[in-house]
Protein backbone atom coordinates (compact mmCIF):
# COMPACT_ATOMS: atom_id res chain seq x y z
CA UNK A 1 0.00 0.00 0.00
CA UNK A 2 1.10 3.50 -0.73
CA UNK A 3 0.64 6.70 1.20
CA UNK A 4 -1.97 7.89 -1.30
CA UNK A 5 -4.36 5.09 -0.36
CA UNK A 6 -4.22 6.23 3.27
CA UNK A 7 -4.29 9.98 2.65
CA UNK A 8 -8.07 10.61 2.53
CA UNK A 9 -8.97 8.31 5.46
CA UNK A 10 -6.25 9.91 7.61
CA UNK A 11 -7.49 13.42 6.78
CA UNK A 12 -11.06 12.40 7.68
CA UNK A 13 -9.84 10.87 10.92
CA UNK A 14 -7.92 14.04 11.81
CA UNK A 15 -11.02 16.16 11.15
CA UNK A 16 -13.19 13.87 13.27
CA UNK A 17 -10.69 13.85 16.15
CA UNK A 18 -10.38 17.64 16.03
CA UNK A 19 -14.18 18.02 16.02
CA UNK A 20 -14.53 15.65 18.97
CA UNK A 21 -11.83 17.57 20.86
CA UNK A 22 -13.81 20.78 20.28
CA UNK A 23 -16.97 18.93 21.39
CA UNK A 24 -18.74 19.40 18.04
CA UNK A 25 -21.69 17.04 17.56
CA UNK A 26 -20.24 15.55 14.37
CA UNK A 27 -23.17 13.36 13.37
CA UNK A 28 -25.74 16.14 13.91
CA UNK A 29 -23.65 18.62 11.94
CA UNK A 30 -23.22 16.09 9.14
CA UNK A 31 -26.97 15.44 8.95
CA UNK A 32 -27.68 19.18 8.92
CA UNK A 33 -25.17 19.71 6.10
CA UNK A 34 -26.59 16.82 4.08
CA UNK A 35 -30.10 18.24 4.52
CA UNK A 36 -28.92 21.65 3.29
CA UNK A 37 -27.26 19.93 0.31
CA UNK A 38 -30.53 18.24 -0.67
CA UNK A 39 -32.39 21.58 -0.42
CA UNK A 40 -29.75 23.26 -2.59
CA UNK A 41 -29.99 20.46 -5.15
CA UNK A 42 -33.75 20.89 -5.37
CA UNK A 43 -33.29 24.65 -5.85
CA UNK A 44 -30.72 24.20 -8.63
CA UNK A 45 -32.37 21.29 -10.45
CA UNK A 46 -34.87 23.31 -12.55
CA UNK A 47 -32.10 25.65 -13.76
CA UNK A 48 -29.88 22.70 -14.57
CA UNK A 49 -32.62 20.90 -16.50
CA UNK A 50 -33.42 24.04 -18.51
CA UNK A 51 -29.75 24.38 -19.47
CA UNK A 52 -29.52 20.72 -20.51
CA UNK A 53 -32.67 21.02 -22.63
CA UNK A 54 -31.28 24.11 -24.37
CA UNK A 55 -27.99 22.41 -25.21
CA UNK A 56 -29.76 19.31 -26.50
CA UNK A 57 -32.07 21.39 -28.70
CA UNK A 58 -29.15 23.37 -30.13
CA UNK A 59 -27.27 20.21 -30.96
CA UNK A 60 -30.13 18.19 -32.41
CA UNK A 61 -31.72 21.03 -34.38
CA UNK A 62 -28.60 21.60 -36.46
CA UNK A 63 -28.20 25.12 -35.05
CA UNK A 64 -24.52 24.53 -34.26
CA UNK A 65 -23.77 23.42 -37.81
CA UNK A 66 -25.70 26.41 -39.19
CA UNK A 67 -23.72 28.68 -36.88
CA UNK A 68 -20.46 27.26 -38.23
CA UNK A 69 -21.59 27.61 -41.84
CA UNK A 70 -22.78 31.19 -41.30
CA UNK A 71 -19.48 32.40 -39.86
CA UNK A 72 -17.08 30.24 -41.87
CA UNK A 73 -16.05 33.31 -43.88
CA UNK A 74 -14.26 34.58 -40.75
CA UNK A 75 -12.11 31.50 -40.18
CA UNK A 76 -11.39 30.51 -43.78
CA UNK A 77 -8.78 33.28 -44.53
CA UNK A 78 -6.77 32.17 -41.49
CA UNK A 79 -6.74 28.51 -42.43
CA UNK A 80 -8.96 27.57 -39.48
CA UNK A 81 -11.68 25.01 -40.04
CA UNK A 82 -15.16 26.36 -39.43
CA UNK A 83 -15.71 23.23 -37.33
CA UNK A 84 -14.18 25.06 -34.35
CA UNK A 85 -16.88 27.74 -34.36
CA UNK A 86 -19.54 25.70 -32.49
CA UNK A 87 -17.15 25.60 -29.54
CA UNK A 88 -17.92 29.27 -28.89
CA UNK A 89 -21.59 28.81 -27.94
CA UNK A 90 -21.09 25.27 -26.62
CA UNK A 91 -18.36 26.20 -24.15
CA UNK A 92 -20.52 28.99 -22.77
CA UNK A 93 -23.34 26.54 -22.17
CA UNK A 94 -21.85 23.25 -21.08
CA UNK A 95 -18.43 21.99 -20.14
CA UNK A 96 -19.15 18.33 -20.89
CA UNK A 97 -20.84 19.12 -24.23
CA UNK A 98 -17.92 21.31 -25.26
CA UNK A 99 -15.46 18.62 -24.15
CA UNK A 100 -17.27 16.01 -26.22
CA UNK A 101 -17.27 18.34 -29.23
CA UNK A 102 -13.57 19.19 -28.74
CA UNK A 103 -12.75 15.49 -28.54
CA UNK A 104 -14.60 14.90 -31.79
CA UNK A 105 -12.75 17.83 -33.38
CA UNK A 106 -9.43 16.32 -32.35
CA UNK A 107 -10.49 12.91 -33.62
CA UNK A 108 -11.51 14.42 -36.98
CA UNK A 109 -8.72 16.96 -37.53
CA UNK A 110 -5.96 15.58 -35.32
CA UNK A 111 -4.61 16.70 -31.98
CA UNK A 112 -1.79 18.74 -33.51
CA UNK A 113 -4.00 20.46 -36.09
CA UNK A 114 -4.89 24.11 -35.66
CA UNK A 115 -8.51 23.06 -34.93
CA UNK A 116 -7.34 20.60 -32.27
CA UNK A 117 -5.09 23.15 -30.64
CA UNK A 118 -7.77 25.84 -30.62
CA UNK A 119 -10.19 23.35 -29.07
CA UNK A 120 -7.66 22.51 -26.35
CA UNK A 121 -6.91 26.15 -25.56
CA UNK A 122 -10.60 27.09 -25.48
CA UNK A 123 -11.35 24.15 -23.18
CA UNK A 124 -8.53 24.98 -20.83
CA UNK A 125 -8.92 28.74 -20.68
CA UNK A 126 -12.63 29.47 -20.71
CA UNK A 127 -15.63 29.03 -18.48
CA UNK A 128 -19.15 27.71 -18.92
CA UNK A 129 -20.48 31.23 -18.51
CA UNK A 130 -24.18 30.77 -19.22
CA UNK A 131 -24.33 27.65 -17.11
CA UNK A 132 -22.56 29.24 -14.14
CA UNK A 133 -24.55 32.48 -14.30
CA UNK A 134 -27.91 30.74 -14.66
CA UNK A 135 -27.23 28.26 -11.86
CA UNK A 136 -25.68 30.68 -9.37
CA UNK A 137 -27.97 33.63 -9.98
CA UNK A 138 -30.98 31.32 -10.11
CA UNK A 139 -29.97 29.75 -6.80
CA UNK A 140 -29.93 33.08 -4.99
CA UNK A 141 -33.02 34.42 -6.75
CA UNK A 142 -31.59 37.21 -8.91
CA UNK A 143 -34.02 37.87 -11.76
CA UNK A 144 -32.34 40.79 -13.59
CA UNK A 145 -29.16 39.23 -14.90
CA UNK A 146 -29.00 40.69 -18.41
CA UNK A 147 -25.78 42.61 -17.86
CA UNK A 148 -24.05 39.58 -16.38
CA UNK A 149 -24.99 37.48 -19.39
CA UNK A 150 -23.90 40.18 -21.84
CA UNK A 151 -20.53 40.76 -20.21
CA UNK A 152 -19.96 37.01 -19.80
CA UNK A 153 -20.71 36.28 -23.46
CA UNK A 154 -18.50 39.16 -24.59
CA UNK A 155 -15.66 37.82 -22.45
CA UNK A 156 -16.19 34.34 -23.95
CA UNK A 157 -16.03 35.80 -27.46
CA UNK A 158 -12.80 37.69 -26.71
CA UNK A 159 -11.33 34.56 -25.12
CA UNK A 160 -12.21 32.52 -28.20
CA UNK A 161 -10.54 35.10 -30.45
CA UNK A 162 -7.48 35.13 -28.19
CA UNK A 163 -7.29 31.32 -28.32
CA UNK A 164 -7.39 31.43 -32.13
CA UNK A 165 -4.74 34.18 -32.25
CA UNK A 166 -2.39 32.40 -29.85
CA UNK A 167 -2.72 29.09 -31.69
CA UNK A 168 -2.08 30.79 -35.04
CA UNK A 169 0.97 32.61 -33.65
CA UNK A 170 2.52 29.47 -32.17
CA UNK A 171 1.79 26.93 -34.89
CA UNK A 172 4.77 25.08 -36.25
Per DSSP, the residues of 95-113 read HHHHHHHHHHHHHHH-TTS
- The two counts, helices (H) then strands (E), for the chain are 9, 0
DSSP 51-69: HHHHHHHHHHHTHHHHHHH
Rg (CA), the chain: 22
Over residues 62-113, the pLDDT tens digits come to 887 888 888 888 888 888 888 899 888 888 888 878 888 888 889 999 999 9
At 17, is the pLDDT very low, low, confident or very high (cuts 50, 70, 90)?
very high
Domain boundaries, the chain: 44-169
DSSP H/E element including 135? helix 129-140
**What is Dmax (Cα atoms) for the chain?**
68
Amino acid sequence: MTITSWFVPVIILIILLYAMAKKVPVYDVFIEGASDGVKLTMTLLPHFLAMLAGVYLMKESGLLQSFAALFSWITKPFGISSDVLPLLPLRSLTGSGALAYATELMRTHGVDSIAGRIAAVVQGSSETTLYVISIYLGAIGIKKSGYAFGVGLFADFIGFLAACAVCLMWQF
